[in-house]
Amino acid sequence: MSTEKRYDPADATLKFVSRRDDITLDDDPDILRAEMSCGHAVTPNSLTAWCRSLLDQGQYKFLCPALKEGTLQKCGAVWTYQEVRKLAVLSSEEQQHFEEFVALLAAAEYCEYKSCPGCKSYVERTDLTNLNVHCTICTAEMGKSYEFCWQCLNPWEGPGPRSDRCDNDGCTNKELELLLKCPTTSLPETEVSDCPSIRACPTCGQFVEHNKEGCKNIICSRCQVEFCFACLEITAVCLQTSSHYARCSKGVAPRQISMPSWNRR
């Protein structure tokens, strides 16, 4: 059972405000609220709950969800972990949980790992456009170059490098098949209908699904880029001719027939 957390009124390092909580919109006058670096007010409990929800969604960057004054645009300011730890009054157990998840999610953003079919050790793929992957451990043990296919996870057959498939029977892109065959969905709070229920992030290729709540835009858990689930444009581009809850001017983008490759640079 969670314990209700409170700020210490004598803490001179915090800026206390009498405004309502910008995350929960609660305005209980008996609850002390502090101001984040972006200027929005929080309590330890609302901040903890929001940041936990981000981690649960696979996001390790803590973004302010409050609306900018007088607009429907989210603040989106990035809070450092150090700021969150202090203003959320994280316990030692919560700190351990947050730090472990942040480390795991950050590693997943910058690295792609799979188990080598030969030695079963984890191998990183540095070239995201090449399915031909070299395992240094197997190469050293066998005394000859060992390469495997990132897609079918069998020893490599045929010429390389390749971005579509190797020459093993049945080497097909299961992820692409899922994009092509997934059912369609509608987003009840928007004008979007008959939209593929699974999308590959147009920036990095990460698979995402919409929870059918809120606006049509979604933040990718890997690259942290926000894009429109319907038209697949980056949110800033989509909003030039549409709005968060309105039909996209380009309509619903068709099913993706190729996987975006992420250039982290």
- Domain 16-109 fold is Herpes Virus-1 (3.30.40)
Residues pairing with 155 in the sheet = 148
- Nearest-CA neighbor of 24 among 66, 74, 72? 66
Structure confidence at residue 250 as a pLDDT band (50, 70, 90) = very high
Q: Where are the domains of the chain?
A: 16-109, 111-171, 174-238
Structure confidence at residue 40 as a pLDDT band (50, 70, 90) = very high
pLDDT at 174: 80
pLDDT at 61: 87
Structure confidence at residue 258 as a pLDDT band (50, 70, 90) = confident
Average pLDDT, the chain: 89
pLDDT digits (tens, 9 = 90+) for 64-105: 999 988 888 889 999 999 999 999 999 999 999 998 888 777
What letter does residue 74 receive in the DSSP assignment?
B
The pTM for the full model equals: 0.49
Residue 209 pLDDT greater than 80, yes or no: yes
**DSSP alpha helices (H): ranges in 60-173?**
81-87, 92-110, 136-142
Structure confidence at residue 1 as a pLDDT band (50, 70, 90) = very low
CA-angle at 204, arms to 115 and 183, nearest 5°: 90
Report d(CA 237, CA 71) in Å as an integer.
Answer: 18
User: What residue type is 21 in one-letter code?
Assistant: D
Ranges of beta strands (E only) in the chain are: 16-17, 33-35, 41-42, 62-63, 78-79, 113-115, 122-124, 132-134, 147-149, 184-185, 195-196, 198-200, 207-209, 217-219, 226-228
pLDDT at 69: 85
Kind and range of the H or E run holding 46: helix 44-56
pLDDT at 212: 87
pLDDT at 38: 95
Report d(CA 166, CA 95) in Å as an integer.
Answer: 45
Residue 265 pLDDT greater than 60, yes or no: no
What count of residues does the chain have? 265
Query: Which of helix, strand or coil describes residue 109?
Result: helix
pLDDT digits (tens, 9 = 90+) for 97-151: 998 888 777 766 666 677 899 998 878 887 878 899 999 999 999 999 999 999 8
